[in-house]
Amino acid sequence: MTNDTNDTARRARPRQSNRARGWKIFVRDILLIFVAALFISFMIKTFLIRSFYIPSSSMEQTLHIDDRIIVNQLEPGLMPIQHGDVVVFKDPGGWLTATPPAQVNSFSGAVDAVLGFIGLSAPDSNDHLIKRVIGLPGDRVVCCNDFGQITVNGVPLEEPYITLPAGVTKATRDDFSITVPQGKLWVLGDNRYNSADSSFHRNDPTGGFVPTKNVVGRALLISWPVKHWTWLDNYPVTFHDVGTGSK
């Protein structure tokens, strides 16, 4: 009887040991998958695409405050910037007003930090700007002709994406006539009379120009809210005849 009991105990111990080992392997695999997913998300955010939110009304009605956008970070590193692209860029110098950091509790801050790490949140959106590229290096950009249109290299632009005050037909509030230097861009908001863009900053030390190296990437689509979901067009027909200035 005693021998039977001992045999049963010996058989039970391997089963229990195998079961414990199986759980350890399962937990290990879950942790490895989780770490790999975080790493892949981080690499995608760093080199391919990432999310930003819109903090101002300067791009209405194309983009609205708190819209979430997906940004292609291959442009301009591997893909050239084109006329009409909506780009996210770092402050070229004095365009943003310093604001104190928002107060958040430690849990919310930790969650936002993790989401920002993997590219699902954009805690640094307030440190960036978003505008539409109107002038590339070498372009001659002038506002405005007798019809209130901006011209690029002498070609007047029909701009279906802009928002103007009621009864206003002039494409921008301020007149300008500039040639875009090498390595720079001339950018304007779609909400032309409510956008601190290149024309607004034309008398600043930056001259209103944005260094190409400051561009984080091109905005591809609105990802949130769902009712705003759409691809962001760069309107190639508008800029079809513009060509480029001297290189």
Return mean pLDDT, the chain.
82
Out of 131, 170, 184, 195, which one is annotated catalytic?
131
So what's the pLDDT on residue 209? 98
Q: Phi-psi region for residue 84, left (φ > 0), alpha (ψ -120 to 50) or beta?
A: left
pLDDT band at 224 (very low <50, low <70, confident <90, very high): confident
Q: Domain spans of the chain? A: 1-47, 51-231
* 58 labelled catalytic: yes
Is pLDDT larger for residue 227 or for residue 3?
Answer: 227
Q: Using 50, 70 and 90 to split pLDDT, how confident is the model at 75?
A: confident
List pLDDT tens digits, range 102-154. 554 554 445 455 555 545 555 555 789 999 999 999 999 999 999 999 999 99
On whether the CB atoms of residues 126 and 88 are closer than 8 A, the answer is no
pLDDT bucket at 33, cuts 50 / 70 / 90? low
Q: Supply the pLDDT for residue 7.
A: 52
| 188, β-bridge pairs | 132
pTM assigned to the model: 0.76
Mean pLDDT of 66-80: 86
Q: Give 173's DSSP letter.
A: S
Does the structure show a pLDDT above 80 at 46?
no
Band of residue 77 on the pLDDT scale cut at 50, 70, 90: confident
* Rounded-to-integer distance, Cα 134 and Cα 151, Å: 10
Looking at residue 246, its pLDDT comes to 45
Distance separating alpha carbons of residues 177 and 157, to the nearest angstrom = 15
pLDDT of 211 strictly over 60: yes
Predicted pLDDT at 158: 97
Alpha carbons 168 and 191: distance in angstroms, whole number: 12
CA nearest neighbour of 135 among 184, 201, 186: 186
Return the closest-CA partner of residue 154 out of 162, 166, 145: 145
The percent of residues in the chain predicted with pLDDT above 70, rounded, is 69
- Identify the pLDDT of residue 47: 53
For residue 199, indicate whether it is catalytic: no
Which residue in 51, 58, 121, 195 is the catalytic one? 58
The answer to which of 14-23, 49-58, 69-78 has the lowest mean pLDDT is 14-23
The architecture that CATH gives domain 51-231 is: Ribbon (2.10)
Q: Which of 91-100, 168-177, 218-227 has the lowest mean pLDDT?
A: 91-100
pLDDT for residue 111? 47
